[in-house]
Amino acid sequence: MLNSYLEFAFTVTPVQPGTDILIAQLGEAGFESFVETETGVLAYIQKGEWQEPILDAVGILSSDLFAIDYTKKEIAQTNWNAEWENNFTPIAVGDTCVVRAPFHKAHGVPYEIVIEPKMSFGTGHHETTFMMLQFILENDWDGKTVLDMGCGTAVLAILAEKRGAAQLDAIDIDTWCVENSQENVERNGCSHISVALGDAGNLPAQPTYDTIIANINRNILLDDMATYHRCLKPKGELYLSGFYKEDLPLIQDCCTKLGLTFVENKERHRWIAAKFVN
C-alpha cells in the first residue's frame, strides 16, 4: 500500500540559522525529508504518523527570535516524481556539463550527469550546487582523493570522478540522501565513490584527502571547519558553499585562523562558493 505524505511549507525569517534549527527539531519530531527553499523549507511526514501535538514539541515555532509561518497539504507518494518531473529541466554548466534526469534526452556533452533527486538536495538548480559544479570543471581532480561532505544527490562527487578523481567519500546525515546518492552513483557508472551515512564525527583524524567539497550551510561549516582542516592534506584544496555573501568574511576568518589561504570565490544571487588551500 502506497503511503501518503503531508507537505509543510515553512517560511522562516531570518532564513538562517532559523531553517537549520527548524529542520533539526522537525527531524526529532518525526519528519522524514526536507527540501530547503529560498524562504525556508518544505518538510514531509507520513500522513499516518501525523498528529497535531507533534508541532508543540518544535520549540523554534514559539521563539520570539524567528517569524515562522507554514501551510500544509497532502501529497501522495506516487505524485512526488510527477511533481519534480514537471519542473525539473536539464541544467547546462558551461559548454561541457549537463545535469539531467533519466527521462531527458542525452545532450552529448563530455560530462553528462543523470540525477534522479527524489527528495534530496543537489540537482544544479540551486545556486550553490551550480557554482560548485563550476569549480569542479575549472580545477584539477586527476588521481585525487576527495571528500564530498553533505553530498545530497552525490552530483558533485559524480562530476569529480568523471573529472579524474581516484577515490571519493560521499557523506550525508540524511538516510534518504544516502540512498539516493547510492542510486545516482550506480546510475552514472561510477566505481570510485563510497557513500556513507554520517557527519563530521565520522571523518578520519589524520590528513586523508587531497580535496574536500562541502556544500552545506554557514553554521555547520563553521562548526566543522577544524575537522575538515584536520583531514585535509598539505596543499590540499577546500571548496565551500551554502552561505550568503554577507557570511563570507566569517568563513574567511575561520579558515585563516586554521592556516587555510583564501584563493577566490564565486557569487550567484547573493550565494557564495569559495576556494581555499591548505
d(CA 251, CA 37): 22
Q: How far apart are the first and last CA of the chain?
A: 52
Instruction: Identify which of 240, 251, 235, 244 has the alpha carbon closest to the alpha carbon of residue 213.
Output: 240
Instruction: Please enumerate in sequence order all residues whose Cβ is within 8 A of that of 201, keeping only pairs 6 or more positions apart, or say none.
Output: none
Residue 9 pairs with which residues in a beta bridge? 42, 71
Are 270 and 245 in contact by the 8 Å Cβ rule? The answer is yes
Are 194 and 160 in contact by the 8 Å Cβ rule? The answer is no
Supply 14's cell numbers.
531570518
To the question of whether residue 129 is assigned a binding role by annotation, the answer is yes
Q: Are strands 271-277 and 232-244 parallel, antiparallel or unpaired?
A: antiparallel
To the question of whether residue 79 is assigned a binding role by annotation, the answer is no
To the question of whether residue 150 is assigned a binding role by annotation, the answer is yes
Strand ranges for the chain from DSSP E: 4-13, 33-36, 40-46, 67-76, 91-93, 97-100, 111-114, 145-149, 167-172, 193-197, 209-215, 232-244, 261-268, 271-277
d(CA 99, CA 275): 22
Half-sphere exposure of 44 (CA within 13 A, CB side): 17
d(CA 169, CA 212): 10
Q: Return binding residues for S-adenosyl-L-methionine.
A: 129, 150, 172, 215
Q: Return binding residues.
A: 129, 150, 172, 215
